[in-house]
Amino acid sequence: MERLEQFLAAILETRKVWLLQAREGFFAMLEDGDGEPYIPLWESEEQAKQAAQGDWADYSVTDMGFSELEHWLKELAKDDIDIAISPEADGEITAIPSIKFRTWVKPYSDDSYKEEDDDDDDFDYGEGWAQPWS
């Protein structure tokens, strides 16, 4: 939990996260032992650069502000992809559901990032959202 708290404090200060990008719109991903997908995020450019090796050696380091991140987390939640906070070199991750991370980011974002068809619905894509037909 300390690791998550440190991460959140660091990104709150800068209002951005760091990612590894293969090409425009395509980012580094991880899978856990059960095949669950995660997008790794780092709190600093330096940490992301250190992670850009091995399979990710050709990836570029990029940042994403909270406004774009909030929109993106909504899409990740729809696709059932969660977040890995500053993954360790040994493969250990601290995971957070993308929908919960979006809830945390949302109060700190602004309207600086909008897509043309972006609606501002706050539909909860968390557990149990799909109900069977009666």
Is residue 39 included in any domain, yes or no? yes
CB 17 within 8 A of CB 67: no
Count of structural domains, the chain = 1
Q: Give the model's pLDDT for residue 132.
A: 42
Is residue 123 included in any domain, yes or no? no
DSSP 90: T
Is residue 50 included in any domain, yes or no? yes
CA atoms within 13 A on the CB side of 68: 10
Is residue 42 included in any domain, yes or no? yes
Beta strands in the chain (DSSP E): 16-23, 26-27, 30-31, 37-41, 60-65, 82-85, 94-96
Is residue 130 included in any domain, yes or no? no
Q: Residue 40's domain spans which residues?
A: 2-108
What's the CATH code of the domain at 24? Answer: 3.40.1350.90
pLDDT single digits (tens) 19-62: 999 988 799 999 988 999 999 999 999 999 999 999 999 999 99
Residue 105 φ/ψ, nearest 5 degrees: -70, -35
pTM of the model: 0.79
Is residue 121 included in any domain, yes or no? no
pLDDT single digits (tens) 69-112: 999 999 999 999 999 998 877 778 889 999 999 999 999 888 77
